[in-house]
Amino acid sequence: MTTYANLLTNLDADGILTITLNRPQALNALNVATVEELADVVRAATADAAVRALLLTGSGPKAFVAGADIAEFSQLDAATGRTFAGRGQEVFALLENCPKPTLAAVNGFALGGGCELAMACHLRVAADSARFGQPEVNLGIIPGYGGTQRLTQLVGKGRALEVMLTADMVNAPDALRYGLVNHVVPAEQLLEFSTSLLKKILTKAPLAVRYVIESVNAVFDEKRDGYTVEADSFAACCASEDFREGPKAFLEKRPAQFTGK
Ligand code: COA
């Protein structure tokens, strides 16, 4: 696997690739180089059969990702700002549309681009110490890596507007109440819990997992009809070897042995 300047990667025996954002001196803030490294690692992981799930987390106890790198983006103008947001959206869409499950294990501050990164993953588990927020209005900008869209999808319009308009941080219990995260766990159990959640998904039929992700994403894609995507996906599952195995294993009262074919 490639070595990165700003990311640590580790592939475990179950096929879970842990990607650790690793710029602790800047609370793991996302500079352009890190966004490009993310694009590279997600693309490579999607293509690599040995990788079955992706887990994103931040280096150190304090931050998941404290936002886009403020020092770096402070010189943007209209033209470069458009490119900056467009590219970030493109890269985060790779995570959202990854056919393998992606999970953000949020170990601390998830602000701005950090909150947006977590929201681009399929699942979010927060340490009880985690804090979320979209504080861009403090800087005279708005979320540009998909945050206005995904926060609204996850928590609804009223709460999303309050979070983005006030720039207030949301603590872990409130994030759970809002539906921004799936689970809150003690910080010391974050990785173990997150891994066990992914491992549970990895016992399921991989093609079915992939098609659930694709069909749910279609809800938010105005260019696609979600019901058509669902029916097509259902049909594809029915043609799979795993669909021969799943019902057979049930009737034989044994765990299914899925192959992803
Ligand atoms: N971009 C660049 N550098 C950042 C950063 C960011 N988004 N967030 C934190 N850092 C850097 C700080 O500049 C500081 O660097 P220094 O030690 O060289 O001075 C270092 O990380 C530690 O941050 P610091 O602010 O000293 O920690 P803190 O515990 O006092 O505060 C935060 C933590 C997260 C509340 C604060 O860092 C913060 O508000 N960060 C910006 C959040 C933000 O607006 N993100 C959205 C950007 S669109």
Q: 190 C-alpha to center of ligand 1: Å?
A: 23
The atom number, within ligand 1, closest to the CA of 112 reads: 46
What crossing angle do the helices spanning 113-120 and 78-96 adopt, rounded to 10°? 30
- pLDDT (average), residues 190-213: 98
The pLDDT tens digits of the residues spanning 49-81 come to: 999 999 999 999 999 999 999 999 999 999 999
- Rounded to the nearest integer, the mean pLDDT of the chain is 98
Torsion of CA 169, 189, 5, 98, to 10 degrees: -80
The atom number, within ligand 1, closest to the CA of 136 reads: 48
- pLDDT (average), residues 82-98: 98
202 band by pLDDT with thresholds 50, 70 and 90: very high
Residue 120 is predicted with a pLDDT of: 98
> pTM (2 decimals)?
0.98
Q: Three-class SS of residue 2?
A: coil
Positive or negative CA dihedral for 29, 88, 169, 125? negative
Q: What is the DSSP letter of 28?
A: T
Closest listed residue to residue 31, CA positions, set 114, 107, 102, 109:
114
The pLDDT tens digits of the residues spanning 244-255 come to: 999 999 999 999
Q: Report the alpha-carbon distance of residue 210 to residue 216 in Å, rounded.
A: 10
| Residue 48: partners with Cβ closer than 8 Å, 6 or more residues away | none
- pLDDT (average), residues 88-108: 98
Query: What are the catalytic residues?
Result: 116, 136
- Tell me: pLDDT of 178 over 80: yes
- pLDDT (average), residues 202-219: 98
Q: 65 C-alpha to center of ligand 1: Å?
A: 10
- Tell me: pLDDT of 142 over 90: yes
Tokens 């793991």, residue located? 28
Maximum distance among all Cα pairs of the chain, rounded to whole angstroms: 64
Query: What one-letter code names the amino acid at 20?
Result: T
Q: 157 C-alpha to center of ligand 1: Å?
A: 28
Residue 236 is predicted with a pLDDT of: 97
Q: Which residues does a 6 A CB cutoff place in the pocket of ligand 1?
A: 26-27, 29, 66-71, 109, 111-113, 135-136, 139
1 band by pLDDT with thresholds 50, 70 and 90: confident
